[in-house]
Structure 1
C-alpha cells in the first residue's frame, strides 16, 4: 500500500452524552479528532502506511491524542512534542430542526505555536506517495500557515501528490484572510476538495447552486470547476454536495472533474445521522484511497461518498470502517442486515 502524510491539529472534543445540551450536562466525553488526523485514521484502516505530522505537549493530555492515533495504526514519529496546550472543542449534537453546535477553545495550541525547526519536512516526505492538508491548519495562526507552505514545498521537491480540503471555518478566520493565504498555496495542489461554501470563501469561486434549498444539480458546478482548474492547474477538482433537510437527515453525493469529464456520484439519503463530525474528512480519506487504488475517477468518487455515508452512522470523529465495508455499500448493499 501507499505512504501517506497528513499535517494538522488533533484536538480533544468534549461532548455531552446523547443529545443533551451544554447547559444540561454535568459530564463530557473526551473524543480525540481533527481534520487531517481523521483522514490519517481512515487511510490506516484501509491498510495504508499513514503519518500524522503535528505538535503536542509532552504532558498526559497530549499523550491522550498521540495514543488515540496509535490505537488505529497511524504512525506518530513525526509529531513534535512541546508547547503548552492541546486544542479543545466542545460539540453539542443536534436533532431534527435543532442544529449541532461547536465552541472552540484552541487558541495558542502547540501546533499553532510550532516553529519550522520543529519539523524536517524533507525527511517526512521522503518516499511518500501522497500529502494531504486542509484549510483549517493555516487558519490556526500565521506560523501554522508558514508550516503548511513549507510542507507543500517539500512535497513537491519529492514529487508527492498533494491534496487539500479547503475546509473554511468562519470561527477561525475571515473570508478575506482565507483568500489571501489559500490562493497562493494552491500552486502546490494537485487535487482540490471542497464544497460550494469552501470554494467561495477560500478561493472566491461561487457555484450556480442553491444548496440550502436542496438544488444541487451538477451543472451549477461545471463553470467554477473549469475556472478553478484553469487558474490553479489542478489535476482534479472535487466537491461534496450536502442537502441538509435537518440535523439528522441529509442528502449526500459528490462531483469530480479531471479537466475532461465530469462525474456525479450516486445519492445517499442519510437518516438518521448518528454523528456528522468528520464526515468531510472521511470523504477525503476515501477519495485518496480510491485514487491510489483504482486509478479511475468514477470508482474513486463512489468509494469516497460511500465511506463518508458510513461515517455518519459512527459516533466520534474517526471513520472506523474497512475498505471491504465501504465497497459493499458502494456496490449497492445498503440494507443494514446483520452480518453473521
Structure 2
C-alpha cells in the first residue's frame, strides 16, 4: 500500500486548564495540532504509512511540533525548515450553553511565508497513493493556494487520489476569495468533505429547511447539497457531516456519503464531548482509511463516523484510537463499559 501525504500547518495549541475562560487563566496547557496534521496522526494510528508536509522554524518549538508527529509514527522527512515562528491558536473550551472560542496568532508563520519552489512534489509523492489537504491551507495566502494547486496537478498526473475537507474559516478569508480559490482546486479533488456551512460559505450551496442553531436537520436537504457539489465538480464522492449541537457538551453526530448514484447514511451517535477540536479531521481520516482498505460505501461512512465519535472523547487535536476500537464501536459496542 502506498503512502498518504498530507499538507498544511501544524500549530502550537494553548488553552486554559479545564473549562476556565481566558480571563481566568494564569497558565496554559500546550499541545500541537492542525487539520492535516490531525489526519496524518489518525491514519498513522490506523497503521497507514503517512507523511506530513509543512514548513517550520529551525528552533526548539518547531522541533517540538515535529516530535509530536514523530511519536505517532508520522513520516516527517518532507518537513521544510526556515522562517521565524510556529503558528499559535488559543482555545477556550465551551461548557453547556457557552460555546468554545478560538483565537489565532498565526500571522507570519513559517508555512505562511513558504514559496512554491521550496516543495519538490515529484519527490514528496514518490511513494504516495493519496494526497490530502483542507481549505485552511490555501486560505493562508495566495502563495499557499499556488502551492496547493501545484501539488494537486502533480498528484493528479501521477494518478494519486486527492481528498479535501472544505473547512471554511471566516477568520482567514472571505467567501468570495474562498470560492475563487477553491473553484480552481475542485476539479482535481476525488473525495470532497464538507458540512452544511462549508458548502454554503465556499460554493454558495445552501441546505434547505435545516437550521444548525436550532438543531433542526433535514436529511433531504443534505442529500441535495451533496448532489449539487457532485454535479458541479464531478467529484467521485462527497461526504457531508451532520452535527446536531444540543449544547457545548452534547451533540448528535452522523454523516452522509454520496457516490453519484446512491446516498449512504450512517447511524447517529449521541456524544458527550470531551474535546471536539479535530472531530472533522478524524472523520476525514476514517474515510481515507476505509477507501484504502476497499470498504464498501456503507461500511466506509460507518467507520468514519465511529472514528470521529471516539475523537470527541479525547483531549487534544489528535485522535489516538486504533482500528479495533473504531470497529468495536461501529459494530454496536456503545456502552463505554470498562475493558478488563
Superposition TM-score tier, normalisation by shorter sequence: over 0.9
CA contact (8 A) 1:15 1:28 kept: yes
Q: Report the equivalent of 1:270.
A: 271
CA contact (8 A) 1:42 1:285 kept: yes
CA contact (8 A) 1:248 1:274 kept: yes
Q: How does 1:210-289 map to 2 (within 5 A)?
A: 210-271=211-272, 273-289=273-289
Q: How does 1:15-26 map to 2 (within 5 A)?
A: 15-26=15-26
Deviations 1:192-239 (A, max 9, x none): 000000011111211212222222232112222222111111000110
Q: Report the equivalent of 2:103.
A: 103
SS of 1:99's partner is: coil
Residue 293 (structure 1) shift: 1.0
Question: CA–CA distance in 1 between the matches of 2:317 and 2:97?
Answer: 22
Residue 2 (structure 1) shift: 3.9
Q: How does 1:1-340 map to 2 (within 5 A)?
A: 1-208=1-208, 209-271=210-272, 273-340=273-340
Question: CA–CA distance in 2 between the matches of 1:307 and 1:88?
Answer: 26
Question: CA–CA distance in 1 between the matches of 2:160 and 2:218?
Answer: 33
SS of 1:221's partner is: helix
SS of 2:229's partner is: helix
SS of 2:215's partner is: coil
Residue 180 (structure 1) shift: 0.9
Question: CA–CA distance in 2 between the matches of 1:138 and 1:295?
Answer: 30
Question: CA–CA distance in 1 between the matches of 2:223 and 2:309?
Answer: 24
Question: CA–CA distance in 1 between the matches of 2:224 and 2:326?
Answer: 31
SS of 1:162's partner is: strand
Deviations 1:167-210 (A, max 9, x none): 00011111111111111110100000000000111112112122
> Root-mean-square deviation (CA), in Å?
0.9
Residue 59 (structure 1) shift: 0.6
Question: CA–CA distance in 1 between the matches of 2:39 and 2:151?
Answer: 17
CA contact (8 A) 1:218 1:264 kept: no
Question: CA–CA distance in 1 between the matches of 2:256 and 2:213?
Answer: 17
SS of 1:12's partner is: strand
CA contact (8 A) 1:126 1:158 kept: no
CA contact (8 A) 2:2 2:127 kept: no
CA contact (8 A) 1:52 1:79 kept: yes
CA contact (8 A) 2:149 2:185 kept: yes
SS of 1:229's partner is: helix
Deviations 1:134-162 (A, max 9, x none): 00000111111111111111110110000
SS of 2:111's partner is: coil
State the 4+ residue runs in structure 1 displaced beyond 4 angstroms: none
TM-score scaled to structure 2, two decimals?
Answer: 0.98
Deviation larger for 111-120 or 44-53: 111-120
Deviation larger for 220-229 or 299-308: 220-229
Residue 281 (structure 1) shift: 0.4
TM-score scaled to structure 1, two decimals?
Answer: 0.98
Question: CA–CA distance in 2 between the matches of 1:314 and 1:132?
Answer: 23
Question: CA–CA distance in 2 between the matches of 1:222 and 1:240?
Answer: 11
